[in-house]
């Protein structure tokens, strides 16, 4: 039986590949459990300095598994409501785990990026996509409201009015439009996506991991912070970063006029 998630760790990069290609990597409970377990493990693993989230086959993630949804359609409405609320709460744990990861994360997408798949790309720190990718917040087509943190991330990335358009109309947008809207950082030719992913992940893995963690925490805090509080947090983060071996290495490298060699310490 195929595992719902493939995990590979090499050269400081943990690649988590959604592995249900026959269903275009639709999310079910087993995949959600595997992804949460993997995120928990890579956070603890000091050898991992960057996380890549990708999809096996020709799609990234087509959203929730509709076949799984159909299994509970015979239940009464109150039972169905409790089931779906519970499932959403369960999978939301992996969104918070991914967002709170003190290491940089990169989504690498091709093909279908729908529903919860859109949320996965937005929860990552950066996202790149091939020219085969298309994005749709497809919930309205199923008579559902969005989950996965999409109502949190989307207005912050594209603006409230455009976010509502994408959610209410559930239109499909191509990768070029996703780039223009700010949903992805970079658009890559499909035959170059894997190589570009490897190059960017290696660059992130070779960076100052502790400084990255401080920067991520600062950006996450900014939405609920005053300027004064943010300035204080920046000062504290700068202080913590200066007390690392990576800072010592960066100063020494600057003086020696050579590239720094960071170790994430």
- Strand order from edge to edge, sheet including 173-174: 112-114, 134-136, 173-174
Task: Tell whether 215 and 139 lie within a shared domain.
Answer: no
CATH classification at residue 227: 1.10.12
Determine the pLDDT at residue 83.
87
Distance CA 34, CA 37 (A): 5
Task: Tell whether 109 and 34 lie within a shared domain.
Answer: yes
Distances (CA, A) of 73 to 67, 83, 144, 263: 10, 11, 14, 52
Q: Domain boundary residue among 205, 222, 244?
A: 205
Task: Tell whether 93 and 167 lie within a shared domain.
Answer: yes
Helices (H) and strands (E) in the chain — how many of each? 11, 9
Determine the pLDDT at residue 265.
77
Task: Tell whether 216 and 141 lie within a shared domain.
Answer: no
Q: For residue 43, give the H/E element and its range.
A: helix 29-44
For each of the chain's 265 residues, which pLDDT tens digit applies? 579 999 999 999 999 999 999 999 999 999 999 999 999 999 999 999 999 999 999 999 999 888 888 888 888 899 988 988 998 999 999 999 999 999 999 999 999 999 999 999 999 999 999 999 999 999 999 999 999 999 999 999 999 999 999 999 999 999 999 999 999 999 999 999 999 999 999 999 999 999 999 999 999 999 999 999 999 999 999 999 999 999 999 999 999 999 999 987 7
Which token pair is 118?
């859109």
List all residues 6 or more positions away from 54 whose beta carbon is below 8 Å from its beta carbon: 15, 16, 17, 18, 60, 107, 108, 109, 197
Task: Tell whether 52 and 120 lie within a shared domain.
Answer: yes
Task: Tell whether 150 and 214 lie within a shared domain.
Answer: no
Does the residue 264 lie in any domain? no
Domain range spanning residue 218? 209-256
Task: Tell whether 199 and 107 lie within a shared domain.
Answer: yes
Distances (CA, A) of 260 to 102, 199, 239, 253, 257: 21, 18, 20, 5, 9
Does the residue 38 lie in any domain? yes
Does the residue 193 lie in any domain? yes
Inter-residue contact 97 to 149 (CB < 8 Å):
no
Backbone angles phi, psi at 135, to 5 degrees: -120, 135
Does the residue 180 lie in any domain? yes
Task: Tell whether 147 and 221 lie within a shared domain.
Answer: no
Determine the pLDDT at residue 71.
83
Determine the pLDDT at residue 171.
96
Task: Tell whether 37 and 67 lie within a shared domain.
Answer: yes
CA-nearest of 264, 133, 124, 263 to 200 is 124
Number of structural domains (the chain) is 2
Does the residue 265 lie in any domain? no
Q: Domain boundary residue among 205, 227, 244?
A: 205
Tell me the pTM: 0.94
CATH classification at residue 69: 3.90.226.10
If phi > 0 it is left, if psi is from -120 to 50 it is alpha, else beta; for residue 204 that is alpha
List all residues 6 or more positions away from 11 whose beta carbon is below 8 Å from its beta carbon: 202, 205
Distance CA 54, CA 263 (A): 25
Task: Tell whether 10 and 133 lie within a shared domain.
Answer: yes
Does the residue 62 lie in any domain? yes
Distance CA 238, CA 249 (A): 16
Determine the pLDDT at residue 264.
78
Determine the pLDDT at residue 152.
96
Task: Tell whether 213 and 200 lie within a shared domain.
Answer: no
Does the residue 111 lie in any domain? yes
Does the residue 127 lie in any domain? yes
Task: Tell whether 251 and 122 lie within a shared domain.
Answer: no
Max distance between CA atoms of the chain, in angstroms, equals 71
């Amino acid at each position: 039986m195929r595992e719902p998630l493939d995990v590979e760790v090499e050269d400081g990069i943990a690649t988590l590949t959604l592995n249900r290609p026959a269903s275009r990597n639709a999310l079910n409970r087993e995949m959600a459990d595997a992804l949460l377990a993997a995120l928990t493990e890579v956070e603890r693993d000091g050898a991992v300095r960057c996380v890549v989230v990708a999809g096996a086959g020709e799609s990234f993630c087509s959203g929730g598994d509709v076949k799984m949804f159909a299994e509970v359609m015979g239940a009464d409405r109150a039972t169905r409501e409790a089931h779906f609320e519970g499932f959403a709460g369960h999978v939301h744990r992996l969104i918070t785990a991914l967002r709170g990861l003190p290491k940089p994360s990169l989504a690498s997408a091709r093909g279908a990026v729908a529903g919860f798949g859109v949320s996965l790309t937005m929860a990552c720190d950066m996202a790149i996509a091939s020219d085969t990718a298309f994005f749709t917040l497809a919930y309205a087509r199923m008579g559902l409201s969005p989950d996965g943190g999409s109502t949190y991330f989307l207005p912050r990335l594209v603006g409230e009015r455009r976010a509502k358009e994408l959610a209410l109309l559930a239109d499909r947008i191509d990768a070029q439009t996703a780039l223009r809207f700010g949903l992805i950082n970079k658009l890559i030719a499909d035959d170059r996506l894997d190589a570009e992913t490897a190059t960017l992940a290696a660059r992130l893995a070779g960076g100052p991991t502790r400084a990255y963690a401080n920067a991520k925490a600062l950006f996450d805090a900014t939405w609920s912070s005053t300027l004064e509080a943010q300035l204080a947090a920046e000062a504290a983060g700068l202080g913590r970063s200066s007390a690392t071996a990576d800072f010592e290495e960066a100063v020494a490298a600057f003086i020696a006029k050579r590239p720094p060699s960071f170790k994430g310490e």
